[in-house]
Structure 1
């Protein structure tokens, strides 16, 4: 082979990549701009959360107040997390479609706001009744001291349900308009908690509880402030007469099921860790908190940057090969970034654990054990990063069935992974098993969206479309 020909062959993949970038330059530029903006805002939010954790640790240490607060906050926050994820997945494509087709968006927004207010108050009442009864009967599973503290905090923290549902709604509307400042505003609640905890040295649980409630109120108000005057004057309507409700419910129900299935993987891990003896749950929890910082940064930045762009392309009839090429390219880029993050985090794992945890009762031996669990959890990063792009691509096409099936696949993969790996690796097997979840779901999305999509739009499909154009 001649040297010149070899050089040309070597350059062909680069030229092909350049051609793809030029063909979809506006979409790539919008995704990159959104991703960098959201990543910067998420970093500020994570920094605020770190400041809050330092303030709480300084004031309370490992006291019972923190245990009771964390337990109750986690229980109340679970439905809010499901609601926020599902609402964003369904509402953003719907809002983009209505805006493009000049649909009755104002009427739907008013009715959705009314529904969220009623649902938030009803959910708060139901949650208070259930939790208050459990605490009174001593059936919460907590020691008496913690149950007493959690019961005292319940009237305040229960307010997070209606406030959080409204906050998620406003955040989804801002995301649909590609106004990523909602991500930056998420730093308000942790800063509010940290400030009140430090301002009230003898406040006990009250500082934590009311700092959380105040932060939630300020967060909601800050999201409402950037809206235009017309939006602020739109009153909620207690009706379901908008024609968009059928479209909304179609995606909402199946997404709730999928999100509930995916959340089962956390519960599964807790049961397996509980059977490994004292310290296993704690080691897994410490490692997962560090992983959550990395995964949260990727998930928020990628999903909030790509979903509006994909939804707009769908609304403007720019789907098909063009949008699939954009999704394929960014999935590859994020997979490569995930590999880099995995290698860097593997090298820095002991340092990260030591920086965050090694003080007081947490010694050097604990650092080594948690760092090992963390390293076993890192292989999930490239699969998780790239799958976020493909999930956004599927949601923009309203292919909610694929998301539900992927959740089912991930849940089965988690059970199988734990069953195979935990007997051999112990708690490290639980961490490594999470890689199987995102590897299986990522490969499923790649086959369903990229491989089958290209096959369905092959030469036969192209000839059919060309013939249709000639007939018209």
Structure 2
């Protein structure tokens, strides 16, 4: 049974890895085309600054959803299919309304936000179009993230990385047709929109009672509201760290935001694949084990997963130390992306790479804390990480400049992993 459990876990993870590798290949081509077209430029700085708030809102609202929603949904489903479906639709309409309100607020404040950060906005009517594009992205990507959690709970792990494939494919197609920042933005939002339609169609077929509208925020499950509220605040604090990183980078000179994003996106090729493969599978697996009271098997599975995460991560970090410059040059050094740009991005990328085992391992630990509904611990750790991130940013920027932000991020993930590990050990030893 134990071997079968681990085998099922890693088999599902391997399926996601295969699809994720395909998604990352599409992502690499996309990043290469973006780098060749725009290089490190103030125009691209403006794009990333425009994307900053939507990405923050999406992650803040939807990142806590799987951890709060899936365990409660599975509990209710064990009691009554009808109650579980009613709960799902109540959450769906509430999340849609929350995303819609967030998009409306962003639409109004985006031009002011760009000016405050000293970025270069798109002139005239195009600025209005950009606001509309990124506002719609909040709703589309937010709903897609929520639907993905439901699909993964149904063990449809093939969908985990499909969204990234469609997103990259649309950006590539639009930039090949027209090499403008507007084409980049359109591709960025239409890919997720196409994927959202597919997700909705599949869920419509799989859900016996179907989707129906319920009054948002009214009669929401009490346990879900309590758990989601705690996780939402924690997600806000953790999401703010990247927002702060980009804001601080914007004051370090032109092209700094672009450079930080390139470095982050290269390391995200590794963290993203690992998080999709391990984190997506972990939640439904650990949730079911918790409901069935199989705590010893939870401990044994966690140990095996962390051994795999740390072993593979240290190999990757070692290779990045030796081959990082070559990798960045291979990916980006063409068109408007110069050798000097490659050197700058490589340093950021290498400092970001230190976070790999702690980021991915932390995701797994967060899943366990969530399924046993001890989310207050996540909130406290998020608050500490938020404070540490600001303090360490100031310290390392003073000595290392822009790449100090990347090192600060890695150290914050290391500390948060240690705190999560201590909490999980207490939880599983008690249970």
Query: Is structure 2 residue 322 aligned with structure 1 residue 343?
Result: no
Contact 2:227-2:373 within 8 A present in 1 as well: yes
Give how far 1:218 is off.
1.1
Could you list the per-position Cα deviations for residues 395-444 of structure 1 after superposition, in whole angstroms to 9, with x for gaps in the alignment? 22122112112212322332343354444444443322223212211111
Give how far 1:131 is off.
3.2
Give how far 1:246 is off.
0.8
Contact 2:45-2:119 within 8 A present in 1 as well: no
Give how far 1:47 is off.
1.8
Aligned equivalent of 2:274, options 287, 290, 298: 298
Cα distance in 2 for residues equivalent to 1:348 and 1:115: 47
Contact 2:355-2:413 within 8 A present in 1 as well: yes
Contact 1:65-1:146 within 8 A present in 2 as well: no
Corresponding position of 1:112:
91
Contact 1:72-1:150 within 8 A present in 2 as well: no
Alignment of 1:144-183 (within 5 A): 145-146=122-123, 149-183=126-160
Could you list the per-position Cα deviations for residues 364-401 of structure 1 after superposition, in whole angstroms to 9, with x for gaps in the alignment? 34433432333333322222232222112112212211
For the structure 1 residues 60 and 455, does the alpha-carbon distance in structure 2 shift closer, same or farther, using more than 3 Å as the test? Answer: closer
- Larger Rg, first or second structure (1 or 2): 1
Contact 1:409-1:440 within 8 A present in 2 as well: no
**Number of residue-to-residue matches in the alignment:** 429
Alignment of 1:133-152 (within 5 A): 134=112, 141-143=118-120, 145-146=122-123, 149-152=126-129
Higher relative contact order (CA 8 A, sep 6+): 2
Contact 1:283-1:370 within 8 A present in 2 as well: yes
Give how far 1:180 is off.
0.8
Query: Is structure 2 residue 110 aligned with structure 1 residue 131?
Result: yes
Could you list the per-position Cα deviations for residues 101-123 of structure 1 after superposition, in whole angstroms to 9, with x for gaps in the alignment? 33511112222233233333333
Could you list the per-position Cα deviations for residues 312-351 of structure 1 after superposition, in whole angstroms to 9, with x for gaps in the alignment? 11111222x3312321332233122211111122121011
* TM-score (structure 1 length as normaliser): 0.80
* Mean Cα deviation higher: 345-354 or 78-87: 78-87
Cα distance in 2 for residues equivalent to 1:63 and 1:424: 25
| 5+ long unaligned stretches in structure 1 | 1-22, 458-472
* Mean Cα deviation higher: 379-388 or 112-121: 112-121
For the structure 1 residues 382 and 162, does the alpha-carbon distance in structure 2 shift closer, same or farther, using more than 3 Å as the test? Answer: closer
For the structure 1 residues 379 and 54, does the alpha-carbon distance in structure 2 shift closer, same or farther, using more than 3 Å as the test? Answer: closer
Give how far 1:147 is off.
7.1
Aligned equivalent of 2:362, options 378, 387, 396: 387
Contact 2:64-2:228 within 8 A present in 1 as well: yes
* Mean Cα deviation higher: 309-318 or 424-433: 424-433
| 5+ long unaligned stretches in structure 2 | none
Corresponding position of 2:54:
76
Corresponding position of 1:445:
420
Cα distance in 2 for residues equivalent to 1:378 and 1:56: 22
Contact 1:410-1:437 within 8 A present in 2 as well: yes
Corresponding position of 1:28:
6
Contact 1:196-1:211 within 8 A present in 2 as well: yes
Give how far 1:241 is off.
9.2
